[in-house]
Amino acid sequence: MTDLEAFRSEAAQWLDENAPKSLGGRGMQMMAEGAADQEPSDVRSDRTKWLEVMAKKGWTAPTWPTEYGGGGLTPQQNRVLQQEMAKRKLPPPLMGMGLSMIGPTLLVHGNEEQKQKYLPKIVTGEHRWCQGFSEPNAGSDLASLACGAKLDEKGENYIVNGQKIWTSGAQAANRMFLLVRTDDSSKHNGITFCLADMKQPGIEIRPIRLISGNSPFCETFLTDAVVPVDDVVGPVNGGWTVAKTLLGFERSGMGGTGASPGRRGSPAAGGNRMIELAKASAGEVDGKVADGALRDEMSKLMIDQMALSLTTQRSAATAKAKGGPGPETSIFKMATSELGHRRDELMLKLRGTGSLYWEGEGAPAEDVALTRGWLSAKATTIYGGTSEIQRNIVSKRVLRLPQPK
């Protein structure tokens, strides 16, 4: 038995012994927007138990070093763990910007004190993070941000004034990583990356209500908000480099959670369900989906998803060796979000009128998850940088094509 096979059987046994039974089989549904509101209370409390046992094991952040509360797994072991979880259709115990963005960024740019202070609290879910990058006049052109920070007289704290917008999850967050302007004389070299406690009088949030009734993001107002100098990540005025690393993690989804973008389409995960649905809607001949055109569409999608998944894994290994993600993550962000749209459209087509379910008694959970997931995924080609911006980055920094003057 190879080491990896031994790890697989160990992980499988541990999951069977520790994962709450009520969560098995609920993986995809539980991740859909609004799904948590409809969960029975026993499932909700099992979710808490699941987070506790996984955090204790270090498997909420499987590849992070054990000294910061992570699991210390290799990328290969992590892949095996994700496969075993997918087999049991277990939901991820924890998700969010702590795990996928700021944690990995601190591992690259944080000092030892910051790693010790923040990473273990991300692993347990105690700190819930939001991202204060975008401003009313700084989105695609992020470096034009104006939210200003000035050092106080004692040189102990930065005093921050300005506004952020589209701050996802700010209403539930107790920490924010943000970009502030510390020098007006240089656009990119006047930006500092820092960490703020959201629970302070200087920070006010106003949820932005959407047509769905949800308020997934907020306007965030900072009025004399206090950020200790110890919570500046990287050099003062050197925040643009730190921000690029973080955006790389955001765009690739390779922040150590192992949630490979291609996973949804693998035969072991969503792919099998797609085949079942296709057989149910188009019929079956010789064990295959009867409609040839539909079969072609599905095969092409699954091949593209697998190719993306493998490329992402290869790039993740390179990024680890280089100490952080590079500009090629823009390819993954763009391809993952656009493939996701294709997949969602196809799933809706297969579900037919089932895809009209939104809520209400008797509405099948899978259909509700599908419809809500399709709508909420519309934003994936916008946040973290739009597809147009990713294409610009790929042309300039990956392909090094001539740029317009």
Ligand X SMILES: Cc1cc2nc3c(=O)[nH]c(=O)nc-3n(C[C@H](O)[C@H](O)[C@H](O)COP(=O)(O)OP(=O)(O)OC[C@H]3O[C@@H](n4cnc5c(N)ncnc54)[C@H](O)[C@@H]3O)c2cc1C
Q: How far is the CB of 388 from ligand X (least distance, A)?
A: 3
CA-CA distance, 376 to 372, in Å (whole number)? Answer: 6
Residue 30 or residue 218: which is nearer to ligand X going by CB? Answer: 218
Q: How far is the CB of 384 from ligand X (least distance, A)?
A: 6
* Among 384, 393, 248, CA closest to 312: 248
Phi-psi region of 20 (alpha: psi -120 to 50; beta: other; left: phi over 0): beta
Q: How far is the CB of 212 from ligand X (least distance, A)?
A: 12
CA 333, distance to chain mean position in Å, is: 11
Residue 189 or residue 392: which is nearer to ligand X going by CB? Answer: 392
Q: With the CA atoms of 316, 320, 323 and 324 taken in that order, what torsion angle do they form, in degrees rounded to the nearest 10?
A: 20
Q: How far is the CB of 245 from ligand X (least distance, A)?
A: 15
Residue pair 282/294 in contact by the 8 Å Cβ criterion:
yes
Which of helix, strand or coil describes residue 221? strand
Q: How far is the CB of 13 from ligand X (least distance, A)?
A: 38
CB within 8 Å of 188: residues ≥ 6 apart? 143, 240
The CA angle 119-124-125, to the nearest 5 degrees, is: 95
Amino acid in the structure at residue 228: P
Residue 54 or residue 246: which is nearer to ligand X going by CB? Answer: 246
Residue 89 or residue 206: which is nearer to ligand X going by CB? Answer: 206
Q: How far is the CB of 167 from ligand X (least distance, A)?
A: 5
Integer CA distances (angstroms), 96 to 167, 172, 266, in order: 13, 11, 23
Residue 168 or residue 241: which is nearer to ligand X going by CB? Answer: 168
List of residues contacting ligand X (CB under 6 A): 130-134, 139-140, 166-168, 217, 379, 382-383, 385-386, 388-389, 392
Q: How far is the CB of 358 from ligand X (least distance, A)?
A: 19
Residue 74 or residue 386: which is nearer to ligand X going by CB? Answer: 386
CA-CA distance, 21 to 94, in Å (whole number)? Answer: 17
Residue pair 121/302 in contact by the 8 Å Cβ criterion:
no
> What six digits make up the tokens of 141?
């052109």
Q: What are phi and psi of 83, to 5 degrees?
A: -65, -40
* Among 353, 340, 351, 344, CA closest to 282: 351
Residue 130 or residue 242: which is nearer to ligand X going by CB? Answer: 130
Query: Nearest to ligand X by Cβ — which residue?
Result: 139
Residue 23 or residue 102: which is nearer to ligand X going by CB? Answer: 102
CA-CA distance, 246 to 106, in Å (whole number)? Answer: 9
Residue pair 133/148 in contact by the 8 Å Cβ criterion:
no
Q: How far is the CB of 127 from ligand X (least distance, A)?
A: 16
Q: In this structure, how many other beta carbons lie within 10 angstroms of the beta carbon of residue 42?
A: 10
CA-CA distance, 374 to 32, in Å (whole number)? Answer: 9
Residue 18 or residue 376: which is nearer to ligand X going by CB? Answer: 376
Q: How far is the CB of 152 from ligand X (least distance, A)?
A: 25
> What six digits make up the tokens of 220?
């965030």
Residue 68 or residue 217: which is nearer to ligand X going by CB? Answer: 217
The β-bridge partners of 276 are: none
Q: How far is the CB of 193 from ligand X (least distance, A)?
A: 13
Which of helix, strand or coil describes residue 306? helix
